[in-house]
Amino acid sequence: MNRQQLKLILECEGIRTDAYDLDGGHESEQYVLRETHGLWSVFYSERGIESGTRTFAVESDACEYLLQLLREDVSTHTR
């Protein structure tokens, strides 16, 4: 899975778009997917502070991990 496929899944599952950023942003209270120098990181951003960072060598692994986090966090769901 890549970022575009993940975005479609999140839309279909009713995950709030303001709950995540797939382009490496740093907004407050969002899950973030970021690519840096060929490595993929997933973390939670709160007031500009990153927490729970996990790094992956492959985009699909990072996307799957982020999907899991968003599914488990009920505050990210619109329905």
Render pLDDT for 12-68 as a digit per residue (tens, 0 to 9): 999 999 999 999 987 889 999 999 999 999 999 998 899 999 999 999 999 999 999
How many whole angstroms separate alpha carbon 53 and alpha carbon 18?
19
Judge whether 53 lies within some domain.
Answer: yes
Q: Which comes out higher in pLDDT, residue 27 or 72?
A: 72
pLDDT at 8 (0 to 100)? 98
Judge whether 79 lies within some domain.
Answer: no
pLDDT at 26 (0 to 100)? 78
In the chain, how many domains are there? 1
Judge whether 50 lies within some domain.
Answer: yes
Q: What is the pTM of this model?
A: 0.94
Q: At what angle do helices 3-12 and 59-72 cross, to 10 degrees?
A: 20
Residue 68 lies in domain: 3-74
pLDDT at 27 (0 to 100)? 82
